[in-house]
Amino acid sequence: MSAHRQFTGASAHAETALAVSWYSVCNVPLAINPNPPNKAIPIKELDMSNVNYLPPKALRRLLSDQCQQSGIDGVDVLLYAVIGEWLCRRYGSTEDWSLPEEAVTWLAAESGFKEDQRVKATYIAKLICDYHAGRKSAHCPIFTITCDCGRQVSRKGQDAHRYPMYRCICGRSCGYHKGDGWPLGLMADREARRWRGILHQAYDQLCEQWRIDNKRGYVKLAALLGVPLHQCHFSLVVEVNRAKEIRNIMQEEIDRIQSEGQGVGGVSQQLSLVP
């Protein structure tokens, strides 16, 4: 796979990775602090394709502490911090990572948000405001997401299901974080989801060769695949051909490491993950 190629394998998903499509916080001018924003860039023109770093540790800790104090668990704090940084740069302060209470009203006036994006942004804004006000926060409201077929899909009624997911009648589905209902990646059909499992198995073997834990391995994997770190998630793969290509790249890396005698086990073993 060449550098900068989309991880999903579908151009339509370029701006929906991790279910957000806002401007890269790397590129938002520090001077943006509207009161309220009168000349905001239309959200539909913004993406996060350049986000390739960890959000500030202080902001991650702030959001983690607020979730813990509010009894909110099973969520992706890293993604919370990516959105939180965007919000603070747009509406508030990056010195103490704070937002004015009016930020929630300003978000309601923004144009171009999809329903799930507005709900998520408002939820994160309230977490930040509640932290600075010493309040506990409410859980994220239920929202709908848009399937590739164009239908709106809700997780309502799924919590009691053995495998709770966003399920569309077209056959696509995806899991979600139990703590907030945020999708675990993109909607995909059964075969694509099967290949996601294959990729996870291949990745486990690659991390073993790298002699690194799975969490830190994603940094190396992102560099290997030539994709931004925030897009380096197998749950974003929606095409089987792209999954096969990614699997082959990981196999080539395993072969390279073993041929140089740097990995675990002296002999290369092909990934026997598919029939």
Give the per-residue pLDDT at 160.
72
Cis check for the bond before 36: say yes or no (omega within 30 of 0).
yes
Let me know whether 135 and 61 are in one domain: yes
Same domain, 207 and 226: yes
Q: Which residues of 181-202 are buried (b: 16+ CB within 10 A; e: fewer)?
A: bbbbbbbbbeebbebbebbeeb
Q: Which two tokens stand for residue 28?
A: 């938002």
Residue 218 lies in a domain: yes
- Element holding 167 (H helix, E strand): strand 165-167
Boundary residue ending a domain (106, 140, 174): 140
What is the structure's pLDDT at 265? 56
Q: How many domains does the chain have?
A: 3
Average pLDDT of adjacent 10-residue blocks, the chain of 275 residues: 46 32 31 40 39 80 98 92 93 96 91 86 97 97 92 85 89 92 93 96 96 92 88 90 96 94 54 41
> Cα(184)–Cα(189) distance, rounded to whole angstroms?
14
Domain extent at residue 107: 48-140
Whether residues 196 and 175 share a domain: the answer is no
Residue 37 maps to a domain: no
